[in-house]
Structure 1
Amino acid sequence: MSLDGAWASSAWKPAGTKPWAEWTQKIGWTPMPTQNGEAPGAVSMSGGWVVAMSAYTKHKQEAFDFITTATNKENSMAYSVGTGDLAARKDVAADPKYSADNPSVKFWTDLASVTHYRPAYEVYPKVSAQVQEAMEAVTTGSRTPEEATANYVKALPAAVGGPDKVLAR
């Protein structure tokens, strides 16, 4: 099992960083179930991305023009298809080119209806980094799942500000 997101498969496309022609035959997709099976039955978490310019710029029109160009349909399509990031525009998501070379994109995009935004907590990226480190260690074989879990448990208190911030179950 791999807990991942839409961006992972962009690496497996022919022009990706780790081409893998058989990935669509080897990997399936299923939504994460809700904690207790309650409606809507699935849940997802998203991070998002943004293009912004400072409100203090002396070149407000140029900044607006840049953002308008960067986020138009054509450039948004190129960005989403190139990076594997999900479309931020409905017209991009509805365009057949959006999912033409990646059959998982429609699945991930459809999860927007059950997605929640990543928490804006200061410790979130620190915890996320620890999870990624543990997953990488197991995936590469440098640690057993038990060893990776033990390292995660040991590192977590420092990541969240002390052992009193960790709830053990």
Structure 2
Amino acid sequence: MNGNEGGTATVKSGTRRSLLFVAGLLAIALAAWGCMQFAFAAGADARFAIVTDGIGGTHRISLDEDGTYPIKTDLGTNVIVVEHGEAHMGDADCPGHDCIEQGAISNPGEIIVCLPHKLIVTVEGTDDEAVSAIEGGGDAGSANGDAEASALNDRDHTGSPMIDGIAG
């Protein structure tokens, strides 16, 4: 009987070690998968408000952090407010305040425009090509962006802004 008892103990001990080894491997694999999911999720939803001001400056504001961002140029001041992943024009010293009434934007392709201040706010994701197109360095959408920028930068002989050839 002593021979059988010793063999049974060895089998139980070997089975226990195998189960602990497999459980350890599963725990490591699960931890690695969780880290990868967290890393991918952190970058997947990154969105930015791209602000092009009337003097050619470009500002990139994360929609992940709430805040108030004043944009001051010779044409005037606009205050962009980021709250809960959305951007809206909180204040502006332009006449009419149409830019304030345009509401909040949060999805790529949405836009806020302040014509008197020649300020454009768009939402972009983390796609570098789309962001570089806004900055004038990419192919995607740059033809349309250049046409809009050209229309906003045109001036008549008196220095007044012109939109599509109509003096403002």
TM-score range, shorter chain: under 0.3
Please report the TM-score for the alignment, with normalisation by the length of structure 1: 0.26
State the structure with more CA Rg.
Answer: 2
Higher relative contact order (CA 8 A, sep 6+): 1
Please report the TM-score for the alignment, with normalisation by the length of structure 2: 0.26
Identify the structure with the greater strand proportion: 2
